[in-house]
Structure 1
Amino acid sequence: MNYDPRVKNRMKRIEGQVKGLMKMMEEEKDCRDVITQMSAVRSALDRAAAVIVSANLERCIREEQESDQSSEELIQEAVNLLVKSR
C-alpha cells in the first residue's frame, strides 16, 4: 500500500510525542502528566489507524467493481482491522 505523506507526517508527530514522553520520564515528571501524555499518544495512534483503514477501504471499494469481493466483505474487513488496532 502506498501511504499518503500526511499519514507519514502524523506518524512523525507521534514519534515526537513518544520522545517527549521519554524525556518526561527521565525528568521524573508527575505520573499524572506522564499518563496524560501516554493517553494522547494512544489517541493519536488510534486516529492514524482509522485514517489508514479508511483510505484502504475507499481504495478497495473502487477496486471491488473489478473483482468478486462484495462491499459487505470489504467493510467487515475494515471493521476487523479497526478492532484489531485497539
Structure 2
Amino acid sequence: MNRLSRIEGHIRGVKQMAIDERDCPDFLLQIAAIRKALDNTAKLILTDHIETCLVDAVQKGNEQEVLNDIKKALDNFIQ
C-alpha cells in the first residue's frame, strides 16, 4: 500500500507540473520515476505470487494450473 501511495503522489505531482507549465525534462524525469516505481511494485507482486500461490498449487499437485497461472501473470506483466 505504501508503494501505491507513493506512485499516486508522483502522479499527482505530474498533474501539478502540467498546471504549473513546468519544462518537458521535468515531466520526463517524473514519468521515469513513476514507471520505475510501477515496475518495482509489479515485481514485488509477481514474486509474492510465485512464493505463495504457485508454491501452494505445486504442493497440491496442480502443475498445469501453476503453468497456466505463471504464463498469465507474465503475459500481464510483460506486454
TM range (shorter): 0.7 to 0.9
CA RMSD of aligned residues (A): 2.0
Indicate the SS of the match to 1:54: helix
The reply to whether residue 25 of structure 1 matches residue 18 of structure 2 is: yes
The amino acid across from 2:27 in the alignment is V
CA–CA distance in 2 between the matches of 1:82 and 1:67? 25
Aligned to 1:79: 74
Match of 1:13 in 2: 6
Separation in structure 2 between the aligned mates of residue 59 and residue 77 of structure 1, nearest angstrom: 16
Higher relative contact order (CA 8 A, sep 6+): 1
The residue number in structure 1 matching 2:59 is 65
Q: Deviations over 1:18-44 (max 9, x none)?
A: 001111111000011111101110111
3-state SS of 2:63 partner: coil
TM-score under structure 1 length normalisation: 0.75
Identity of aligned residues (%): 33
TM-score (norm 2): 0.81
Aligned length: 77
Structure 2 unmatched runs, 5+: none
Letter in 2 for 1:65: Q
